[in-house]
């Protein structure tokens, strides 16, 4: 049975690169009816934070990635120590000043990586390495090997920034008498302008994208397309569809670049496709983050407003500004509205306001009829008054259909 794992260190928020590695690892297990392990590599007691751990779990759930087993390395120190002792007893490791050192018995190491293909390592930078520190905590390569072996991980899928660790780990597997798993090193994601996805690039964590109003389906779809293709020119793909098609063989060997054009296009697509009801809480959250409380409004009303904007939204965080007039009388006029709202239209708008105020039915059909009648009486074409009316009402030159918006 295929068994894969994702092994984040809770020393930061879930990065988009980490999320994509997790996605590939999860998909491989799920596509083979295998099992998926989440292993929290919290051996660094100082840098590991509960806040990061909670955020990682929350982000994974938000993306729709579930796990069958979860382990915390901080609870397994005894186990690592026992295996270190076995190596000491076999003369393959020794203890000095409270730390345990592993002696590499170096031999040429060949890796048949499932993505990168054959790689040969002829030397290592060091001939020994600390595996248990003097505070009793294990170092990454050692705890990783012990856990991957004891958890019976069949495929170690991780970022290719770990390639240089793999020959060291293989020598540890051999020293401990464990069977080797398959390795698959996933290429990095690069920024559009080249270089790594660093803080300078902008948002790098899943949480930030959630807060900006990206939907999880769009994030998953985009991460999938970064480095993997479902075949043909299919671009819209869901997690469950990907499960039927995914194979490690189809992952690109070269790094992929993160481009906002495609990502935004996908997000707009999923917003358009969403049921209004499903957008409610994400929308409430983005408004709250911009200091606006939507909960105090009637939910039906909120959903109706969302309905007006669903087809014209790229990220949900645009909505508080775009829809401000629906929730607050105190809004500012966009800088491009001066030309539309000239002095001469004030009289006409006043006339329109008076007529509309007297309507008994304020539905879009009745509004439109009245609007056209007012235009006729003023000797205007409807479009001469549509633009000034929109600006007067919303402070924006663009927006949804005027009569629906008025309703
Ligand atoms: N904790 C390591 C990391 O976050 C895990 C690497 C691995 O998957 O082996 O990079």
Local confidence pLDDT in tens for the 407 residues of the chain: 999 999 999 999 999 999 999 999 999 999 999 999 999 999 999 999 999 999 999 999 999 999 999 999 999 999 999 999 999 999 999 999 999 999 999 879 999 999 999 999 998 888 999 999 999 999 999 999 999 999 999 999 999 999 999 999 999 999 999 999 999 999 989 998 888 887 777 789 999 999 999 999 999 999 999 989 888 888 999 999 999 999 999 999 889 999 999 999 999 999 999 999 999 999 999 999 999 999 999 999 999 999 999 999 999 999 999 999 999 988 888 888 877 777 668 899 999 999 999 999 999 999 999 999 999 999 999 988 999 999 999 999 999 999 999 99
390 Cβ below 6 A of ligand 1: no
pLDDT at 342: 74
Q: Is the beta carbon of 9 within 6 A of some atom in ligand 1?
A: yes
Query: Which DSSP state fits 134?
Result: T
What is residue 232's predicted lDDT score, i.e. its pLDDT?
A: 83
pTM of the predicted structure, to 2 decimals = 0.93
The Cα angle at residue 162 between residues 160 and 165, in degrees rounded to 5: 140
In short, whether 169's Cβ falls inside 6 Å of ligand 1 is no
CA 165, CA 102: separation in Å to the nearest integer? 14
* CA separation for the pair 166, 209 (Å, rounded): 32
Contact predicate 24/186, CB 8 Å = yes
Q: Spell out the residues 6+ positions from residue 310 whose beta carbon is closer than 8 angstroms to its own.
A: 271, 272, 274, 276, 279
Query: What distance in angstroms lies between residue 212's CA and the mean position of ligand 1's atoms?
Result: 27
Chain mean position to CA 265: 15
What is the DSSP pairing of strand 35-40 with strand 69-72? parallel
Pocket test for ligand 1, best of 162, 169, 181, 182 (most atoms within 8 A of CB): 162
SS3 173: helix
Instruction: Give the Cα separation of 328 and 322 in Å (integer).
Output: 12
Residue nearest to atom 4 of ligand 1 (CA): 8
Beta bridge partners of 185: 158
Q: What is the pLDDT of residue 275?
A: 97
Does the beta carbon of 166 lie inside 6 Å of ligand 1? no
Please tell me if the CB atom of residue 41 comes closer than 6 angstroms to any atom of ligand 1: yes
Residue 192 exposure: Cα atoms within 13 Å on the Cβ side: 10
324 Cβ closer than 6 Å to some ligand 1 atom: no
**Helices then strands (H, E): number in the chain?**
17, 12
| CA 359 to ligand 1 center in whole angstroms | 66
Q: Which residues, in sequence order, are CB contacts of 210 under 8 Å at separation 6+?
A: 59, 62, 216, 219
Q: Whose CA is nearest to atom 5 of ligand 1?
A: 7
Query: What pLDDT, on the 0 to 100 scale, is given for residue 195?
Result: 84
Ligand 1 centroid from CA 251, angstroms? 19
The continuous run of DSSP H or E covering 5 comes out as strand 3-6
CA-18 nearest atom, ligand 1: 4
Tell me which residue of 398, 394, 397, 350 sits closest to 374, measured CA to CA: 350
> Among 342, 380, 344, 373, which Cα is nearest to 356's?
373
The ligand 1 atom at the shortest distance from the C-alpha of residue 5 is 8
3-state secondary structure of 395: coil
Ligand 1 pocket check: which of 25, 144, 186, 205 to mutate, most ligand atoms within 8 Å of Cβ? 144
pLDDT of residue 126: 87
């Amino acid at each position: 049975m295929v068994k894969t794992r994702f092994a984040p260190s809770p020393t930061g928020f879930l990065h988009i690169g980490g999320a994509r590695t997790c996605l590939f690892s999860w998909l491989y297990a799920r596509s083979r009816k295998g099992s998926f392990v989440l292993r929290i590599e919290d051996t660094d007691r100082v840098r590991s934070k509960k806040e990061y751990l909670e955020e990682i779990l929350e982000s994974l759930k938000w993306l729709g990635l579930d796990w069958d087993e979860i382990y915390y390395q901080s609870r397994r120190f005894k186990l690592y120590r026992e295996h270190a002792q076995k190596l000491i007893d076999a003369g393959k490791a020794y203890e000095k000043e409270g730390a345990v050192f592993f002696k590499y018995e170096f031999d040429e190491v060949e890796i048949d990586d499932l993505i990168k293909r054959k790689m040969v390592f002829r030397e290592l930078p060091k001939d020994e390495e600390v595996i248990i520190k003097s505070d009793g905590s294990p170092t990454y390569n050692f705890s990783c090997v012990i856990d991957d072996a004891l958890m019976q991980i069949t495929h170690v899928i991780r970022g290719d920034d770990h390639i240089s660790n793999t020959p060291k780990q293989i020598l540890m597997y051999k020293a401990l008498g464990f069977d080797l798993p398959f390795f698959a090193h996933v290429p990095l994601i690069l920024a559009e302008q080249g270089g790594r996805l660093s803080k300078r690039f902008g948002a790098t964590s899943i949480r930030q994208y959630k807060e900006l109003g990206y939907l999880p389906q769009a994030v998953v779809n985009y991460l999938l397309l970064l480095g993997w293709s479902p075949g043909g020119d299919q671009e819209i793909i869901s997690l469950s569809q990907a499960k039927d098609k995914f194979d490690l063989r189809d992952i690109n060997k070269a790094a992929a670049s993160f481009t906002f054009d495609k990502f935004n296009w996908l997000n707009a697509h999923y917003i358009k496709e969403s049921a209004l009801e499903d957008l409610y809480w994400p929308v409430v959250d983005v408004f709250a983050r911009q200091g606006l409380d939507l909960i105090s409004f009637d939910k039906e009303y909120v959903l109706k407003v969302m309905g007006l904007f669903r087809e014209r939204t790229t990220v949900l965080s645009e909505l508080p500004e775009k829809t401000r007039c629906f929730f607050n009388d105190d809004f500012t006029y966009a800088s491009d509205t001066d030309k539309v709202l000239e002095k001469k239209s004030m009289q006409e708008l006043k006339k329109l306001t008076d007529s509309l105020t007297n309507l008994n039915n304020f539905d879009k059909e009745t509004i439109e009829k009245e609007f056209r009648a007012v235009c006729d009486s003023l000797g205007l074409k409807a479009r001469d008054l549509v633009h000034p009316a929109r600006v007067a009402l919303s402070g924006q030159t663009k927006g949804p259909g005027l009569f629906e918006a008025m309703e």
